[in-house]
C-alpha cells in the first residue's frame, strides 16, 4: 500500500494538482486525527503542564488533596534548606570537629570487641590515613560510615582525655571508687 493509498483510506481523498502539489480533502470528523499529533506535542511540554496545574486543570485526586504522608514530606523538604547538611557538613566532619557531638557519638557506639580482626583494623587505619592526607572529600560515604562506626578510629583521629570522652551530655556518670 502506497502512502497515498494509506492517506486516502484513512483520511479521505488525495488530489494531485499540477503534478507537484498535494491537496488533502478530509472527511467530516477526521480533523481530530490531523490535530492529534500537534496537540500531543504541544500538551507534552512542561510549560503547558505547569500552566494547567496553576489553573487546576487535569488534576488527579491526590493532587487536589494529597495524603498526610505527602504533605509532611513536602513540609520537611521545605525545612531541609535550613539544615546543616545543606552547607556541606556531614556526620564525620561534625563528629571530628564538634567535641559535644563527638562525645555523644562515642557514648552511643557499642563497646569495641576485645579481639579485633587484624585485616579490618588494617583497612580502618588505611581509611584514617586517607582522611588525614587527602581530606574528608576523598572518602566515599561508605568509608565515612566505617570510620564513624569505629570508636577507636575516632579516638585516634581526635584524642581527648578519658574523663571528657566517656561523659555523654544528659547521661549521669556512675562513680567508681578504688
Q: Using the predicted structure, report yes or no on whether residue 105 has a pLDDT greater than 60.
A: yes
- Spatial contact of 127 and 153, defined as CB atoms under 8 Å apart: yes
For the residues 12-22, what does the mean pLDDT come to?
55
pLDDT band at 132 (very low <50, low <70, confident <90, very high): very high
Identify the sign of the CA torsion 98, 147, 108, 165: negative
Q: What's the angle, vertex CA 8, arms to CA 2 and CA 12, rounded to 5?
A: 170
Parallel, antiparallel or unpaired: strands 12-17 and 21-26: antiparallel
The 10s digit of each residue's pLDDT in 133-148 is 998 889 998 899 999 9
Quote the CA–CA distance of 40 and 45 in Å, as a whole number.
9
Whole-number mean pLDDT of the chain?
Answer: 77
For the residues 59-76, what does the mean pLDDT come to?
87
> Percent of the chain having pLDDT more than 90?
25
pLDDT band at 128 (very low <50, low <70, confident <90, very high): very high
Residue 111: name the closest of 152, 170, 143, 148 by CA. Answer: 152
For the residues 40-51, what does the mean pLDDT come to?
80
Amino acid at each position: 500500500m502506497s502512502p497515498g493509498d494509506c492517506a486516502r483510506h484513512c483520511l479521505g481523498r488525495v488530489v494531485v494538482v499540477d503534478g507537484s502539489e498535494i491537496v488533502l480533502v478530509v472527511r467530516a470528523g477526521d480533523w481530530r486525527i490531523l490535530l492529534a499529533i500537534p496537540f500531543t506535542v504541544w500538551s507534552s511540554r512542561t510549560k503547558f503542564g505547569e500552566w494547567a496545574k496553576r489553573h487546576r486543570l487535569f488534576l488527579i485526586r491526590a493532587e487536589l488533596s494529597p495524603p498526610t504522608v505527602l504533605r509532611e514530606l513536602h513540609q520537611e523538604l521545605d525545612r531541609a534548606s535550613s539544615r546543616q547538611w545543606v552547607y556541606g557538613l556531614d556526620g564525620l566532619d561534625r563528629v571530628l570537629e564538634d567535641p559535644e557531638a563527638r562525645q555523644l557519638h562515642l557514648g552511643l557506639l557499642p563497646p569495641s570487641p576485645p579481639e579485633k580482626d587484624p585485616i579490618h583494623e588494617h583497612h580502618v587505619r588505611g581509611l584514617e590515613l586517607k582522611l588525614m592526607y587527602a581530606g574528608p572529600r576523598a572518602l566515599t560515604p561508605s568509608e565515612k560510615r566505617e570510620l564513624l562506626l569505629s570508636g577507636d578510629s575516632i579516638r585516634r583521629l581526635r584524642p581527648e582525655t578519658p574523663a571528657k570522652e566517656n561523659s555523654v551530655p544528659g547521661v549521669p556518670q556512675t562513680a567508681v571508687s578504688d
